[in-house]
């Protein structure tokens, strides 16, 4: 696409682009906003350097993209409606962050549209965020594997990651009650394995190594074997790009067709402001679009 109001510098052939000529501290014109959105559809992950934002202007930018998502389980991090602060670790030690490759909120009926982070005080080295292109992951499959996967549904379970990672446990009655609350609020949900992107029309794999526990109609052994293959396939290096954060960097990615993972190699604090943008639709099965074509 030819952009008339912003400059777009691709980061890798697979995904990612730097956007120049945009001051996010001020309201964006309709023309600039449309091109920023299009750049995210085109490049999946975009970032803006040298931004000078306060919480109000950061929230105002997010609200231009869409309604802000209220996190159900991290209220202690909330600084205002829809805005959350992540601090990393405060001591001079490697981060204890264990949240690895994932899609945000895939345990919900309508996973969020995109994520937005603003780096306010980050280490000079380490702490990058990695992204993986799920269009490319789908395209690289054989025709036979695409045929197998396109009608399938994956089971996403909010409790899966928490128990496996140690964030949650069943050692006390309170911890069990917390898990019961999470299950009541978010029952297991099934999403298409291959989805159609509503803006681009392209097929992509919608998988989440943190929350997918199996596939509809398969035994545990069958699901585990297929998951092992897919979780290795979707993280091939040729599908990835990497963002090194600097103070004043804003990063935004299409949460529907991008996996992301925080780097686990930084020391000390890593303060980020974070927004998520709500989505008004469920993931769209690609096989239905193919059948209608």
Residue 292 located in a structural domain: no
Residue 284 located in a structural domain: no
Longest dimension (CA), the chain: 59
Confidence of residue 288 (pLDDT cuts 50, 70, 90): confident
Segment 134-165, tens digit of pLDDT:
999 999 999 999 999 999 999 999 887 777 65
**Is the pLDDT assigned to residue 90 strictly greater than 80?**
no
The mean pLDDT of 182-201, rounded to a whole number, is 94
Between 252 and 291, name the one with better pLDDT: 252
Residue 290 located in a structural domain: no
pLDDT at 91: 55
Share of the chain above pLDDT 90, in %: 70
Q: Give me the CATH number covering residue 172.
A: 3.60.130.10
- What CA–CA distance (Å, rounded) separates 24 from 51? 7
Count the alpha carbons within 13 Å of 281 in the hemisphere toward its beta carbon.
9
pLDDT at 103: 94
Strand partners, 251: 47, 117
**Is the pLDDT assigned to residue 73 strictly greater than 80?**
no
Number of domains in the chain: 1
Q: Which residue has the tokens 């009655």?
A: 173
**Is the pLDDT assigned to residue 92 strictly greater than 70?**
no
Residue 184 located in a structural domain: yes
Q: What domain range is 130 assigned to?
A: 7-279
- What CA–CA distance (Å, rounded) separates 255 from 105? 9
pLDDT at 99: 65
């Amino acid at each position: 696409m030819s952009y008339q109001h912003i400059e777009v510098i691709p980061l890798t052939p697979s995904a990612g682009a730097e956007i120049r000529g945009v001051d996010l501290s001020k309201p964006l014109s309709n023309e600039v906003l449309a091109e920023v959105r299009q750049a995210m559809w085109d490049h999946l992950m975009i970032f803006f350097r040298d931004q000078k934002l306060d919480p109000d202007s950061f929230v105002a930018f997010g609200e231009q993209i869409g309604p802000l998502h209220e996190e159900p389980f991290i209220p202690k991090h909330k600084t205002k409606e829809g805005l959350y602060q992540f601090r990393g670790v405060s001591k001079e030690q490697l981060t204890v962050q264990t949240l690895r490759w994932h899609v945000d909120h895939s345990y919900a009926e309508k996973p969020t549209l995109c994520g937005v982070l603003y780096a306010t005080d980050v280490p000079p080295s380490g702490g990058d965020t990695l992204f993986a292109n799920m269009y490319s992951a789908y395209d690289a499959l054989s025709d036979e594997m695409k045929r197998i996967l396109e009608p399938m549904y994956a089971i996403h379970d909010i409790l899966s990651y928490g128990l496996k990672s140690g964030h949650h446990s069943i050692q006390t009655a309170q911890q069990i009650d917390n898990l019961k609350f999470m299950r009541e609020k978010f029952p297991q949900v099934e999403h298409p394995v291959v989805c159609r992107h509503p803006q681009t029309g392209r097929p992509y794999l919608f998988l989440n190594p943190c929350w997918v526990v199996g596939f509809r109609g398969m035994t545990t052994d069958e699901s585990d074997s297929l998951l092992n293959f897919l979780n290795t396939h979707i993280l091939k290096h040729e599908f990835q790009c990497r963002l090194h954060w600097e103070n004043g960097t804003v990063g935004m990615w299409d949460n529907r067709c991008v996996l992301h993972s925080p780097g686990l190699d930084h020391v000390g604090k890593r303060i980020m402001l974070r927004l998520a943008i709500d989505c008004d639709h469920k993931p769209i099965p690609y096989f239905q679009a193919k059948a209608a074509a």
